[in-house]
């Protein structure tokens, strides 16, 4: 009864998804990254800046794997439409609430794709007088890079597929998957969405 209904509507076993990186693989890699960051930033009180919304899932798990004093902040940014993509112009929708002069900054991002967003953001943060600005990214879709972006700490390189889960969305859906999956048919994903309440 209730169980079968839950299975029919299961998002995590949706047949339109093909698991690329499992929950266990993600969590294991995060433990390694966290230990590495903790040893390299001991005594520096780093400020981790999460890019909304996608990176919040990664940030939340990563923080709990970094066993040193640290702070967190969030920024929201949006790229201009595809017509101006090559310009790399980016808009800050939500800025930091604190000055970062002299701080050791670690930007936390879900995925580096073309690199346009990150190259803008890293330059912007460096111009504010931070002691250092480094980047940790869960995924690197390196084949699509248009702007060089140094990824100081990387979870996983991935091939050029559109991926969802663990914070990454397709039209705001799938962020809640505990794993990273390839969306087999994006059109089907749109059609499946309920249009009225059940
Ligand atoms: P870029 O590196 O400036 O091209 O943009 C990176 C942003 O595009 C990421 O922060 C994601 O929000 C989004 N993005 C890029 N590739 C994917 C994907 O495969 N799935 C979901 N979002 C993606
Ligand atoms: Mg993003």
Phi, psi of 17 (to 5 degrees): -110, 135
State residue 12's pLDDT score: 96
- Looking at all shown ligands, the one closest to residue 142's CA atom is 1
Q: What angle do CA 38, 44, 50 make, to 5 degrees?
A: 70
158 ligand 1 Cβ < 6 A: no
Which strands, in side-by-side order, build the sheet including 163-164? 17-21, 180-183, 163-164
61 is a catalytic site residue: no
Q: Which residue has the tokens 């996983």?
A: 156
The residue whose C-alpha atom lies closest to atom 20 belonging to ligand 1 is 163
Cβ–Cβ < 8 Å for 20, 77: no
Calculate how far, in angstroms, residue 109's C-alpha sits from the geometric centre of ligand 2: 7
State residue 8's pLDDT score: 62
The residue whose C-alpha atom lies closest to atom 9 belonging to ligand 1 is 111
Ramachandran assignment for 115, one of left (phi > 0), alpha (psi -120 to 50 degrees), beta (any other): left
Index of the ligand 1 atom closest to the CA of residue 54: 12
CB within 8 Å of 156: residues ≥ 6 apart: 21, 25, 29, 138, 139, 140, 180
Q: What angle do CA 96, 99, 101 make, to 5 degrees?
A: 130
Q: Which two tokens stand for residue 123?
A: 């330059």
Calculate how far, in angstroms, residue 116's C-alpha sits from the geometric centre of ligand 2: 11
The residue whose C-alpha atom lies closest to atom 11 belonging to ligand 1 is 111
pTM of the model: 0.90
CB within 8 Å of 70: residues ≥ 6 apart: 41, 45, 46, 47, 48, 63
Show the low-confidence residues of the chain (pLDDT under 50): 83-85, 197-198
Q: Which of 113, 160, 169, 187 is catalytic?
A: 113
- Looking at all shown ligands, the one closest to residue 122's CA atom is 1
> What one-character DSSP code corresponds to residue 174?
S
Question: Cα-Cα-Cα-Cα dihedral of 154, 74, 72, 169, to 10°?
Answer: -40
State residue 198's pLDDT score: 43
State residue 9's pLDDT score: 82
State residue 89's pLDDT score: 74
Cβ–Cβ < 8 Å for 75, 47: no
């Amino acid at each position: 009864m209730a169980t079968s209904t839950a299975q029919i509507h299961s998002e995590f076993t949706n047949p339109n998804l093909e698991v690329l990186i499992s929950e266990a693989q993600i969590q294991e890699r995060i433990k390694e990254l966290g230990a590495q960051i903790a040893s390299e930033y001991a005594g520096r009180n780093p400020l981790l800046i999460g890019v909304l919304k996608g990176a919040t899932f990664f940030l939340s798990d990563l923080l709990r794997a970094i066993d040193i004093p640290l702070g967190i902040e969030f920024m929201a940014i949006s790229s201009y439409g595809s017509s101006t993509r090559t310009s790399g112009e980016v808009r800050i929708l939500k800025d930091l609430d604190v000055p970062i002069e002299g701080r050791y900054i670690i930007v936390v991002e879900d995925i580096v794709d073309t690199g346009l967003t990150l190259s803008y953001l890293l330059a912007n943060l460096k111009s504010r007088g931070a002691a250092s600005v480094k980047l940790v990214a869960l995924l690197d879709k390196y084949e699509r890079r248009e702007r060089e972006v140094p990824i100081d700490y990387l979870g996983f390189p991935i091939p050029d597929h559109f991926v969802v889960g663990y914070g990454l969305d397709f039209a705001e859906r799938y962020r809640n998957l505990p794993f990273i999956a390839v969306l087999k048919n994006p059109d089907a994903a749109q059609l499946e969405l309920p249009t009225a309440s059940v």
